[in-house]
A and B are shown apart, each in its own frame.
Chain A
């Protein structure tokens, strides 16, 4: 029996087609997985079901009746509940109070607390209604969100990457709860990229890639390999580079471990790798697996044990960003506006952020304004940045152009080691090609380059060595030549087998 049917759903954002003619069904009493890499179109699809966005083309049917919600409330009224990846909780308030706030007409506190206790016992989601949310672990907080949904008696429960913040024990507890719900007739739409979990838990899986439905399968009948192939696509670009001779090791990272201060962050565990002169190492991975934390540790914004990170002969784990730049380690973070560049400042001033000391854009603390402007001009010229002048505010540039500026700012400083996170996200094809070429030339010139990216084609094209970051751990780096889609899918899916 079909609960919800999606027919030919299409959604465009500007020139990008996020969802392209999507059709599939979720049955009653089913746990249905929605599988795909980042950018495959999962979140857009789910937003349409939940009423956050409306489709351009296509229709939906819920319980045999037309379904076209214009806001989340309309969805909730029809029985759709969603647990987001990032919770909307109030730390100084109790569990019961948090749940009451998320409900339309909550019952009185005592009655509500009793309801919470009942649900929590019934589904194995142990929670004390009177505890303050701020005192709960992340796993427990997720339970608050889930109970909040369950009290609305939903027909369809959507869960977005729920296990990324859970311990293995908590994952087991969650699965027990979900199976219980399914057996009672609630449907669950389970968004994930973790193949092993999907095989254990889900009845069916719909696989998306580049906005289209690639296939619908029964996970139990598939192997992780076959699902990985569907997810990643067998038409992957063949690795471009052949093994070359690399120079001396430039960056040696050994057993780098770091606890994340953000409760939603990922802690790094025993990260070990070496980058040699002339080598490009590609790090693949789904967002939220420790990339940000790794960047902060490598750039010096977060300090680690001194000998965790070694640049040539020096242990730099305890040195800050300025000192690392002077020694030749440069980085470019993922977030352009607000992190790599100051949105309100102009391009000339933005060169000072990373270039003041290394590019000698000043003397005795005084800024050499002409020098900074000249450097900005040079970046604009060499990296084809389309902007009115060096006096334009950084936020006035398009994403692609700002990215070119940021990359140019670092690359033109002639780093020994360059680390970049998502070098071409949100960048048009021409600019992306330009940036990749610049990275290759940097390596040819003898620098060591680390590229963290979610774009596998990109990594195939430019990497010499390949590794995957998953849940804060790095797989053993290997030459790009032997890497297959199966390997990638498995590594990204969290398999420990390789």
Chain B
């Protein structure tokens, strides 16, 4: 068997980064009480816009920034539809995905086969030379560390800041939050845009670092996996990392096993993360004393401001 554990783990971290980014953003969105099924669309828009920007400015950093802006802009469509026009969240999210997939294909059809500017690996004072832990943890590009940092920031935001408290309140009981004077719609729109920006960056990571190339439909369901990870993580930021690495790890493992001739058991292995997510969801939902639940109680419900 020609699988190096070290290289497996290193690849795993890279594979997990795009979905970790997208999932972090979606966590904030869902904490505010909104279910945005359009993550896939926002990711792929980020992928192409980031790619185009990076290629034309020869700077991957600008690529990521543009990708974040593009994802946020697209999510604004979803925000207006669901928060102002009171449209159904499920349908709006799916429309967003469809639109994003198509628009990205259109924008990117002249960009296939082009190599983007490479993202340099970060220097950690030579720690990359350490045996085993070096290549696994210290030999990655900036965005890998940024994604972890983002999770940390989100955790701090939710747990320790007033803004985070208000966000959680809105997602928990939007009527009570409104009664207390908080601007539910405005908060939700900001959350949705943050989710879009993160998904955009996640998509750009795919086209700029992971592959790195632009192909039509290259997200290949990563957006849906990000949604699953948010549930798997019980809406707790640190568990997102666990979930992303688990899902990412299984994918990498599966590819490696396949390349080495193992066919059948592999697809059943791939099912595992999804089945585990279902079990987690069932356990959490069946606890009727909801206080132990982390799922925002207003998730998916339409808010009718009775001003």
Contact = CB atoms under 8 A, between A and B. Distances in A.
**Chains A, B in direct contact (C-beta < 8 Å):** yes
Interface residues of B, number: 23
Contact of A100 (B165, B172, B173, B289): B165
Nearest to B178: A88
Residue picked from B166, B169, B181, B294, most chain A C-beta under 10 Å:
B169
B157 to A, nearest CB: 14
A109 B161 CA distance: 10
A92 B287 CA distance: 13
B179 A92 contact: no
A345 interface: no
B45 interface: no
Contact of A93 (B168, B181, B289): B168
A90 to B, nearest CB: 4
17 contacts: A73-B181, A88-B176, A88-B179, A89-B173, A90-B168, A90-B169, A90-B173, A91-B290, A92-B168, A92-B294, A97-B168, A97-B169, A100-B162, A101-B177, A106-B162, A134-B292, A135-B291
Interface in A401-434: none
Nearest to A88: B176
Contacts of A185: none
Interface in A100-124: 100-102, 106, 109
A134 B296 CA distance: 13
Contacts of A133: 291
Interface of A: 73, 88-93, 97, 100-102, 106, 109, 132-135
Contacts of B296: 92
Nearest to B179: A88
The 7 closest A-B pairs by CB, nearest first: A134-B291, A88-B176, A132-B291, A90-B172, A135-B291, A88-B179, A90-B169
Given A90-B172, A91-B291, A102-B180, 13 more contacts: A90-B169, A90-B176, A92-B172, A92-B290, A92-B291, A92-B297, A93-B172, A97-B169, A100-B165, A101-B165, A101-B182, A134-B290, A134-B291
Contacts of A93: 165, 168-169, 172
Residue picked from B177, B181, B182, most chain A C-beta under 10 Å:
B181
A109 B293 CA distance: 22
Contacts of B182: 101
A92 B293 contact: yes
Nearest to B160: A109
Contacts of B290: 91-92, 134
A93 B298 CA distance: 14
Contacts of A102: 180
B179 to A, nearest CB: 5
A278 B294 CA distance: 55
Contacts of B180: 88, 101-102
Contacts of A135: 289, 291
A261 to B, nearest CB: 10
A101 B291 contact: no
B176 to A, nearest CB: 4
A169 to B, nearest CB: 22
A101 B161 CA distance: 12
A92 to B, nearest CB: 5
A91 B165 contact: no
Contacts of A134: 289-292
Given A101-B180, A102-B180, A133-B291, A91 B173 contact: yes
A80 to B, nearest CB: 16
B118 to A, nearest CB: 44
Interface string B290-307: 111110110000000000
